[in-house]
Structure 1
C-alpha cells in the first residue's frame, strides 16, 4: 500500500482528492493542512474515521513539522496542493501568497529532497513529488484562438499567478539540479461540491438563493475552461502514479464558457429547481434569478481567456473528464441546495464576500 502526503487537503481540490484516494484507491493518506480561512475539515467528514486517513495540522513553512511528518509517515508520494489561491485576495494582500506559495514550496522541496536522498534505491526510484499548479501561470490568451499547452511560456498577471509560477520554477529547478523526481500539473478552473464561497460559482448560487445581487466583473465576457473537481482528482492520481518523472501535464475540462454564460446557466437551473423564490426574484419582470445579475467594476489586470489543451494527459495517461459542464454544474447546484448547513457555517464565520461584488 502506497502512503501519500497531501498538503492542503482541507481545501476544495485537496479534500476532493483525499475523498477519491480513500474511497477509490488502495492508499494511505496523510493530510497536512494549516487550516486557514479556506480550510474546512467538514469537507472530509465522510472519510475522517477511515483507518487509512490521518490529519496533521501544520504550516508547510514549518521546517521542523514537515521533517517530522516525513520521518513518521515515510511517504511514497507527496501531492502538494497547499496554497493561497484567490486572485482578489492576492491583489489586496500579496504577502501571504509569497510566503505560502513560494517560501512554503521551497521548504517542502528541501524536506522532500533530504528525505528522498536517504531512501534505499528501490524506494528512491519510486518516490514522486507532485506539484499541483494552475493555468493562470500562462497569462492571458486574449482572442488569439490558441490554447495553453505544456510548452506555453509563462506570463502571469496577478500576484497569485506570479507566486504559483515561481513555485513551478522552483520545483523544476529541484528536479534539474538535485534530481528530485517531480511531476507538475497545471489545471483550469475547478468547480463542484465543497467549493469555498468566495469563488464565482458557489458565490452566485448562494447569493441567488438569498435573493442578493449576482456580481459579474466587467461585461462578463471573460472565458474560462471549467473542470469538475472530481474529474480533476482522478487526473491527479493518474499523474502521480503513472506520469513520467520531470513531465508537466495540463488538466482541463474541455468546457470553455464566459463568466456570463456560467452565471446564466446557474440561474436557469435554479429557475427550474426552486419553487419558493426570494422576494427580489418574484418581484422582477420575468421572475427569473437572472434578474439579480449585476455588473461590477472589473478586477485589476483581469485576464480575458484561459483555455487548456489537455491532449497530452489524454493520450499518454488515458484520462478524460467524465462530466460535461452541463452535467457538472447541475450536480454542483443540487449539492449546494442539499448542503445549506455546510456553507452557512462558513458564511457565519470569517468569510464575508470580500472584494467580488463590492461596488467601488
Structure 2
C-alpha cells in the first residue's frame, strides 16, 4: 500500500486531493505536511480518519528527509506554494522562498532518501504547477501545450516556472522519478476567499463591490477542483516519468462571463430560499435588487495576462483524463457549498484576510 506525503494538503487544492484520494484509497497512508500559513486550514481536513497532519515548512530539509525515511514515503504530491498573483506583486520574496527554495528543499530530501541512500523503493515526486508559466495568449493563439515555451509574467508565475525547471532537472540529472501537472484556474470548496469566485460570492452576500480588473475580458480556462484531483491521481499513477501533463477544465470563459454567471446564480438562490435574505440582509438580492449592481470596474493589475487556454490532448490520450461537467453545473455546486458552509468562511475571514480585504476593497 502506498505511503503518500502531501505538501500543502491543508490548503485549497491539496485538501480536496486528500479527500479525493482517501475516499478512493482508504487503506493508503496519508501524511499532510503544511506550514498552516494564512491559506492553510486544518478544518479543511475535518471528517478524514487516519490522515496525519504535520505542521512544518517544506524549506526544512531535515524535517522532509526524516518524514520520507521514517514513514517510508514512496510518493510525494507537492501542492505547497504561494499562489495569489496580487500578493506576489506586493511581496515577491515569499513566492521565491516557498515556491523555488521550498521545492528545491523537497527535491534534495527526495534525492537523499530515495536515491543516495539506496532504499530501492519505487517512488514518485508529483509536482503541481500552473498554466501561468506559459505566459499569455492572444485571442487567436492556439492553446497552451506541454511544449509551449515558458514566458511567465508575474512574480508568482516566474517562481512556479523556476520550480518546474528544478523538478525537470532532478529527473534528467539524478534520475528522480518525477511528473509535473500544469493546471488552469481552479474553483470549488475550501478555496481561500482571495480568489475571484469565493471573493465575489462573499462580497455579494455582504453587499460589497465586485471589483473587475480593466474591462473584465481576461479569458481563463476554469477547472473544477474535483476534476483537477482526478487528473492529478491519473498522472500520479499512470504518468510517464519525467513528463509534464496539462490539466484543464474545458471551460474557456472571460472573467466578466464568470462574474455575470455568479450574479445570476446568487439572485436565483435568494429567490428560491427566503431564509437567505435574513442571513445576508446586506446583499442586493435580499432587497429584491440584482447582484450585478455591485459590479465595479477598477484599474487593471500590472502585467495582467490576457488569456490562458489549455490543450489537454496528452492527458486525455495518455491518462484518460476528461473533466466531468461543464462550468455552470459545477459553479452551482460551488455556490451551494459556500452558502451551506458559512461557518467555514466566517472563521477564515476572522483572521488575516479580514484586514487584507478591508485594505483592498474597503
- Please indicate the TM-score interval, normalised by the length of the shorter structure: over 0.9
Is residue 10–residue 41 contact of structure 1 (8 Å, CA) maintained in 2? yes
Alignment of 1:1-150 (within 5 A): 1-25=1-25, 26-47=27-48, 50-51=49-50, 53-117=51-115, 118-121=117-120, 123=121, 126-150=122-146
- Structure 2 gaps of 5+ residues are 272-276
Q: TM-score, normalised by structure 2?
A: 0.94
Q: 1 CA distance for matches of 2:286 and 2:220?
A: 32
Say whether the 8 Å CA contact 2:205–2:283 is kept in structure 1. no
Name 1:351's counterpart in structure 2: 353
1:247 maps to 2:243: yes
Taking the aligned partners of 1:29 and 1:71, their CA distance within structure 2 comes to 15
Q: How does 1:108-257 map to 2 (within 5 A)?
A: 108-117=106-115, 118-121=117-120, 123=121, 126-257=122-253
Matched, 1:330 2:328: no
TM-score in terms of structure 1 length = 0.94
Alpha-carbon distance in structure 2 between the residues aligned to 1:355 and 1:42: 21
* Helix, strand or coil at the partner of 1:168: helix
Q: CA deviation at 1:68?
A: 1.4
The one-character-per-residue Cα deviations of 1:58-77 (angstroms, maximum 9, x if unpaired) are 00001121111112111111
Q: Residues 160-194 of structure 1: CA distance to partner in whole angstroms, max 9, x if unpaired? A: 00000000001101111111111000000000011
Count of matched residue positions in the alignment of Structure 1 and Structure 2 = 353
Whether the aligned pair in 2 keeps the contact of 1:296 and 1:357 (CA below 8 Å) is no
**Deviation of 1:355 (Å):** 7.1
Q: Is the 8 A contact 2:221 2:308 kept in 1?
A: yes
Alpha-carbon contact 1:142-1:303 (below 8 Å) kept: no
Alignment correspondent of 1:281: 284
- Would you say the 8 A contact 1:281–1:289 is kept in 2? yes
Compute the displacement of 1:279 (Å): 4.8
Find the residue that maps to 1:351 and give its secondary structure. helix
The Cα of 1:252 is off from its aligned counterpart by: 0.2
Moved more, 140-149 or 232-241: 140-149
Residues 297 and 359, structure 1, Cα contact 8 Å, conserved in 2: no
1:54 and 1:133 mapped to 2: Cα distance? 24
Query: d(CA) in 2 for partners of 1:317 and 1:66?
Result: 29
- Distance in 1 (alpha carbons) for counterparts of 2:355 and 2:219: 22
Cα-Cα RMSD:
1.8
Judged with a 3 Å threshold, the aligned counterparts in structure 2 of structure 1 residues 282 and 99 are, in CA distance, closer, same or farther, namely: closer
Name the CA distance, whole Å, in 2 between partners of 1:306 and 1:238: 23
Residues 215 and 295, structure 1, Cα contact 8 Å, conserved in 2? yes
